[in-house]
Amino acid sequence: MPPSYVQTIMLVDDDKDALNCLRELLVARGYAVAEARDGEQALDYLRHNPRPCLILLDLMMPRMNGWEFLTHKAQDDKLAAVPVVITSGTEENVPTHVAAIRKPWNIANLLDLVRKYSLPAP
pTM of the model: 0.88
Q: What is the pLDDT of residue 93?
A: 67
Task: Choose the weakest-confidence range: 2-6, 53-57, 78-82, 117-121.
Answer: 2-6
Query: Is residue 98 within 8 Å of 55, Cβ to Cβ?
Result: no
Domain boundaries, the chain: 8-117
In a 3-state reduction of DSSP, which class is residue 1? coil
Query: Which pLDDT tens digit goes with each residue over 27-85?
Result: 999 999 999 999 999 999 999 999 999 999 999 999 999 999 999 999 999 999 999 99
Q: Are 85 and 54 within 8 A, CB to CB?
A: yes
Question: Residue 70 and residue 121: Cα distance in Å, rounded?
Answer: 25
Do the beta carbons of residue 37 and residue 69 sit within 8 Å?
no
Q: Which of 31, 33, 43, 36 is nearest to 13 (CA)?
A: 36
**Which residues pair with residue 11 across a beta bridge?**
35, 56
Superfamily covering domain 8-117: Response regulator (3.40.50.2300)
What's residue 103's pLDDT?
Answer: 82
pLDDT band at 1 (very low <50, low <70, confident <90, very high): very low
